[in-house]
């Protein structure tokens, strides 16, 4: 926050390597979620298919540049620059791809009649990258700082278990992991991208750290982890 009545920024100045421009985080917006997403190539996914059933959010999308193609509730929508797409029903599946390079979509959302609560995916985007790079101490600090700022703490607690565990998984991780699973039983599927490369016959020492965590604590049955970017981008705002 600044002492001024307003702030300004350009979307392309906020854009990260993965195409996410964290507008809400940049300005510290508290009343609603707002972010921008850019597909640098034609046919690139800008808004992965998802619904807002868990959050109850209404969402409004504005194509600020380029040309997008939306699908909402099974219906195709041609969306050149300037198009506004409002999805009132949280249960409706929605997604968008770029039809032109450099397509950017601004998304805004919140639940009607309730105070907005930021979602923890904002932090988990950075945490996943740190865990994939084995920078556990940095990931742990981010997660500890985030626990007091977000209400949906299940994924934060799960990732905290990952960050606290040793690569051999012989240290104790049961307390934060158990708390995570009590809050969200599906969190075991929300793992860093490196987990997808694991094979069922790999030795424990060669397994990526999150896959080994699942095998040691949640059982040996193989599970297919979704791409981390898609998991985190389901809750776009």
Q: What is the pLDDT of residues 174-187, one digit of tens each?
A: 455 555 545 544 44
Residue 145 CA: distances (Å) to CA of 7, 44, 123, 142, 192: 25, 33, 10, 5, 20
Q: What order do you get walking across the sheet with 75-80 strand by strand?
A: 45-50, 94-98, 67-72, 75-80
Q: What are phi and psi of 141, to 5 degrees?
A: -65, -40
How confident is residue 166, by pLDDT bands cut at 50, 70 and 90?
A: low
- Cβ partners under 8 Å of residue 130, min gap 6: 136, 138, 139, 142, 163
Q: How confident is the model at residue 191 (pLDDT cuts 50, 70, 90)?
A: very low
CB atoms within 10 A of CB 132: 18
Identify whether the C-beta of residue 218 lies closer than 8 Å to the C-beta of residue 212.
no
User: Cα separation of 210 and 228, whole Å?
Assistant: 12
pLDDT value at residue 70: 98
Residue 31's φ and ψ, nearest 5 degrees, are: -85, -20
DSSP string for residues in 152-190? --HHHHHHHHHHHS-TT--S--HHHHHHHHHH-GGGGG-
Answer with the residue of higher pLDDT: 15 or 170.
15
Average pLDDT over residues 99-108: 98
221 pLDDT more than 60: no
Task: Please state the CATH superfamily assignment of the domain spanning residues 11-110 in this structure.
Answer: Jelly Rolls (2.60.120.10)
96 near 68, Cβ under 8 Å? yes
Res 74: pLDDT:
97
Residues 6 or more apart whose Cβ sits within 8 Å of residue 98 = 39, 40, 41, 42, 43, 44, 45, 46, 66, 67, 68
Residue 14 has a pLDDT of 97
More confident position, 190 or 103: 103
pLDDT at 226 over 90: no
Report percent pLDDT > 70 for the chain: 69
* Residue 169: predicted pLDDT: 43
């Amino acid at each position: 926050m600044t002492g001024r009545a307003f702030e300004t920024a350009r979307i392309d100045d906020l854009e990260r390597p993965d195409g996410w421009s964290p507008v809400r985080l940049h300005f510290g917006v508290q009343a609603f979620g707002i972010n921008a997403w850019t597909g640098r190539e034609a046919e690139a996914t800008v808004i992965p298919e998802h619904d807002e059933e868990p959050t109850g959010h209404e969402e409004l999308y504005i194509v600020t540049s380029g040309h997008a193609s939306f699908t909402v509730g099974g219906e195709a929508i041609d969306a050149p620059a300037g198009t506004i797409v409002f999805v009132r029903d949280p249960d409706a599946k929605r997604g968008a791809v770029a039809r032109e390079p450099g397509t950017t979509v601004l998304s805004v959302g919140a639940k009607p009649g309730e105070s907005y609560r930021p979602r923890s995916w904002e932090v988990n985007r950075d945490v996943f990258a740190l865990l994939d790079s084995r920078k556990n101490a940095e990931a742990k600090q981010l997660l500890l700082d985030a626990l007091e700022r977000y209400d949906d703490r299940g994924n934060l607690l799960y990732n905290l278990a990952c960050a606290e565990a040793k690569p051999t998984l012989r240290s104790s991780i049961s307390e934060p992991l158990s708390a995570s699973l009590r809050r969200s039983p599906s969190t075991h599927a929300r793992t860093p991208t490196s987990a997808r490369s694991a094979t069922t016959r790999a030795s424990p020492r060669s397994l990526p750290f999150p896959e080994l965590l699942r095998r040691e604590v949640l059982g040996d049955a193989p599970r297919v982890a979704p791409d981390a970017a898609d998991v985190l981008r389901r809750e776009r705002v």
